[in-house]
Amino acid sequence: MENTKQEYRMTMPLLGDSFPQMKVQTTHGPVSLPGDFSGKWFILFSHPGDFTPVCTTEFVAFQKRYDKFKELNTELIGLSVDQVFSHIKWVDWIKDNLDVEIKFPIITGTEAIANKLGLIHPGKGTNTVRAVFIVDPKGIVRAIMYYPQELGRNMDEFLRMIRGFQLADKERVAIPANWPENELIKDEVIVPPASTVDQAREIVKHHDCYDWWFCHKKL
């Protein structure tokens, strides 16, 4: 068991790593990751299994926000160890019974893919856990999250994260907790702290600050 856990730690990508290159089979045909999403953000999310209640609510929630993700230059791609025919049947069921058409692709995850991304956690069974990888337009992993089978995800948080990443990259700032409704600075952002004494003296002249290391501004 310990060797298996160590293997997952060694093979799965970490924050700041390039997303591992792989060719996958999806409900929309073959896809090369991350190459086919070059120039776009993408969220790859795994789910434990098709035709399960929590996963169904998640896919509906993702689809309801799909246009908002696309407005942020962000694509969605799902994954589980189920075969493509199961994905197709499940997507059809969602459309027929819930009147929601799933428009993003779903990967058929092989054991090799699951191991490469650390999606099987032995302590939680043999199904893929609810993993989330947020990858930027250069193919760099910016966020990784894992959820147990019993807890569904909050898709509005992923929208907030994409907006926050894009703002941080563009303006070279940091994003506070619960942004844009932070308890201290509301919708403002955090100015990078000074790295010299002179910078520390200057930064407080041009920004609102609690101290030289905690300054913030509106955009």
Asked if residues 135 and 44 have their Cβ atoms less than 8 Å apart, the reply is: yes
Q: Tell me: the pLDDT tens digits for 159-204?
A: 999 999 999 999 999 999 999 999 999 999 999 989 999 999 999 9
2-153 CATH choice from 3.40.30.10, 3.40.190.10, 1.10.3720.10, 3.20.20.30: 3.40.30.10
Q: Locate the domains of the chain by residue range.
A: 2-153, 172-217
In degrees rounded to 5, what are phi and psi of residue 202? -75, -40
Least confident piece of the model among 3-7, 141-145, 147-151: 3-7
- Judge if the upstream peptide bond of residue 20 is cis by omega within 30 degrees of 0: no
User: Kind of pairing, strands 208-211 and 22-26?
Assistant: unpaired
Sign of the CA dihedral running 123, 126, 128, 130: negative
Q: Kindly tell me if the per-residue pLDDT of 32 is higher than 90.
A: yes
pTM value > 0.95: no
- Judge if the upstream peptide bond of residue 53 is cis by omega within 30 degrees of 0: no
For domain 172-217, the question of CATH label 3.30.1020.10 is answered with: yes
How buried is 112 (Cβ within 10 angstroms: 0-12 exposed, 13-18 middle, 19+ buried)? Answer: exposed
What DSSP string runs through 151-207? S---HHHHHHHHHHHHHHHHHT-B--TTTTSBTTTBT-EEEPPPSSHHHHHHHHHHS
User: Kind of pairing, strands 214-217 and 29-33?
Assistant: unpaired
Q: Kindly tell me if the per-residue pLDDT of 3 is higher than 70.
A: no
CA distances from 168 to 162, 163, 212 (A): 10, 9, 20
Active site (catalytic) residues: 55
Distance between CA 53 and CA 94 in Å, rounded? 11
The H-assigned helical ranges of the chain are 2-11, 53-64, 66-71, 84-98, 111-116, 155-171, 197-206
Q: Tell me: the pLDDT tens digits for 56-79?
A: 999 999 999 999 999 999 999 999
CA distances from 190 to 9, 179, 182 (A): 33, 11, 11
Token duo for residue 99: 């009147």
